[in-house]
Amino acid sequence: MKILLTGGAGYIGSHTVVALIEAGFQPIVLDNFSNSHPAVLERLARIVGQTVPLEHVDVLDTPWLQDVLRRHRPAGVVHFAGDKAVGESVAQPLKYFHNNIGGAVSLLRAMEAMHAETPEDAPTLVFSSSATVYGDPARVPITEDFPRSHTNPYGHSKLVIEDMLYALMAARPAWRVGVLRYFNPVGAHPSGLIGEDPAGIPNNLMPYVAQVAVGQRDHLNVFGNDYPTPDGTGVRDFIHVQDLAAGHVAAIKALLGRGESFTVNLGTGRGHSVLEVVRAFEKASGRAVPYRIAPRRAGDVAQCWADPGLALRLLGWRAKHALDDMCTDAWRWQSGNPNGYRG
Ligand code: NAD
Ligand code: UDP
């Protein structure tokens, strides 16, 4: 059974390719490599022992997408493609509205056109949403019925896409849609062959810590130690990318099986502070991670973690990996590939 992965060459997409193959599906990667490297396909082939088909396409190109859908007739589509840097979205909002919202509209229109051609195939979509849609949550843990809001154009784009999907589901009962709200994906495949390869200075904590540990940056700036949390630093629900990948397989299976649409959190249900991550990474790597306390980063919330109970009930999925595994696998990837896919 074929599954099309837009943005499949990216961080989460590439790990999901492996999980889908292990579960017996045939993933097809669709990517324009705007934030990934074609070398990921060679690494994937080494892990799975087969060539993963690639469509070098921009999701904004609706006719081309339609051609891809017509040729492959995938049983489902996972829509990862999009831009994800919060700071950049504040500086360049139109880039985010165009690529993220425009990309989703383009994909949905191509899928709708395909459904008109082959009405026997129910359009089946998994969408990469984010815990950012909860804005500054009133309390933790966060359940899916919490009010949604946005604090930057990236988050706004995710919220708009969710709303588009809800409107579409109301208008077209044949559609089967799984909205997955990821918490903080970290770690890498245990082979050390694929992982997160951010361009330039990492925005996110774990890749930054990894670059400090490997000696590429001299210290971490800890953004604030005066939050109302046990050690004063921000607390997040870090989830191993392998668990997240498994969540996509569970989502696809549920949509193709029971056929009901859903929106679920993908998190562990546990929060870890910035300083806990630093200590866990030092332990996993055997390297020091020097840090300095810096001012709070604008827009950050104090603490954010999921109630993952709904994903367990609906999908039979729960995260299995602890923070130590996340750091061990992130370190294996970072130390084996200090320059990411660029060799
Ligand atoms: P990523 O940047 O590694 O992967 C996204 C992929 O999409 C890249 O390979 C990029 O080249 C591709 N892409 C972007 N625009 C495209 C276009 N117009 N046409 C074709 N391909 C395009 O990011 P990721 O971390 O793997 O995230 C995947 C999805 O999950 C994104 O939608 C992101 O917003 C969402 N998400 C990520 C996180 C996170 O922390 N990584 C958290 C929550 C949600
Ligand atoms: N953080 C930090 N230094 C960094 C990057 C992040 O102290 O260089 C903190 C950040 O303030 C937050 C936590 O680490 O409390 C997670 O940040 P990240 O950007 O990884 O995820 P998000 O903010 O999207 O939850």
pLDDT in tens, 278-330: 999 999 999 999 999 999 998 899 999 999 999 999 999 999 999 999 999 99
At 293 the pLDDT is 98
- Domain spans in the chain, listed from the N-terminal domain onward: 2-342
CB atoms inside a 10 Å sphere around CB 298: 11
Task: Please state, in angstroms and rounded to a whole number, the distance separating the CA atoms of residues 183 and 229.
Answer: 18
Closest ligand 2 atom, residue 222 Cα: 7
Q: How far is residue 65's CA from residue 111's CA, in Å, rounded to a whole number?
A: 9
Half-sphere exposure of 203 (CA within 13 A, CB side): 11
The whole-angstrom separation of Cα 75 and Cα 68 is 13
Q: Which of the listed residues 6, 12, 32, 180 should we mutate to test ligand 1's pocket, taking the one with most ligand atoms within 8 A of CB?
A: 12
| Closest ligand to residue 267's CA | 1
Q: Whose CA is nearest to atom 11 of ligand 2?
A: 223
Give the Cα separation of 158 and 57 in Å (integer).
Answer: 22
State in Å: Cα 81 to ligand 1 middle.
Answer: 5
At residue 214, the pLDDT reads 94
For atom 39 of ligand 1, the residue with the nearest CA is 185
Query: Does the beta carbon of 247 lie inside 6 Å of ligand 1?
Result: no
Q: Is the pLDDT of residue 29 over 90?
A: yes
159 lines ligand 1 (CB under 6 A): no
Residue 342 is predicted with a pLDDT of: 87
Which residue among 154, 182, 208, 227 is the active-site one?
154
Give the CA diameter of the chain.
59
Kindly report the CA angle at 272 between 340 and 269, in degrees rounded to 5?
100
Give the Å distance between the CA of 205 and the centre of ligand 2. 5
**pLDDT of amino acid 263:** 98
The pLDDT value recorded for residue 283 is 98
**CATH (one of 2.40.50.180, 3.40.50.720, 1.10.3720.10, 3.40.50.300) for 2-342:** 3.40.50.720
CA distance linking residue 177 with residue 263, whole number of Å: 8
Q: Report pLDDT for 189.
A: 98
- Closest atom of ligand 2 relative to the 304 alpha carbon: 25
Is 166 considered catalytic here?
A: no
Ligand number nearest to the C-alpha of 60: 1
Q: Is the pLDDT of residue 27 over 80?
A: yes
Reported confidence tier of residue 216, pLDDT bands at 50, 70, 90: very high
Backbone Cα Rg of the chain:
19
Contact 76, 255 (CB under 8 A): yes
Q: Which residue has the tokens 């990821």?
A: 182
> Ligand 2 centroid vs 293 CA: distance in angstroms?
13
Q: Is 9 in the pocket of ligand 1 (CB under 6 A)?
A: yes
Burial class (CB in 10 A: 0-12, 13-18, 19+), 329: buried
Ligand 1 midpoint to CA 7 (Å) = 6
Task: Name the closest-CA residue to atom 43, ligand 1.
Answer: 130
pLDDT in tens, 80-106: 999 999 999 999 999 999 999 999 999
Rounded to whole angstroms, how far apart are CA atoms 271 and 233?
Answer: 12
pLDDT tens, position by position, 41-94: 999 999 999 999 999 999 999 999 999 999 999 999 999 999 999 999 999 999
Q: Given this model, what pLDDT does residue 73 score?
A: 97
Average pLDDT of the chain to the nearest whole number: 97
Amino acid at 163: D
Query: Which amino acid residue places its CA nearest to atom 29 of ligand 1?
Result: 80
pLDDT in tens, 227-250: 999 999 999 999 999 999 999 999
Of all ligands present, the nearest one to the C-alpha of 197 is 1
* % of the chain beyond a pLDDT of 70: 100
pLDDT at 299: 86
Q: Residue 236's beta-bridge partner residues? A: 272, 304
Query: Which ligand places an atom closest to the C-alpha of 273?
Result: 2
Residue of the CA atom closest to atom 16 of ligand 2: 205
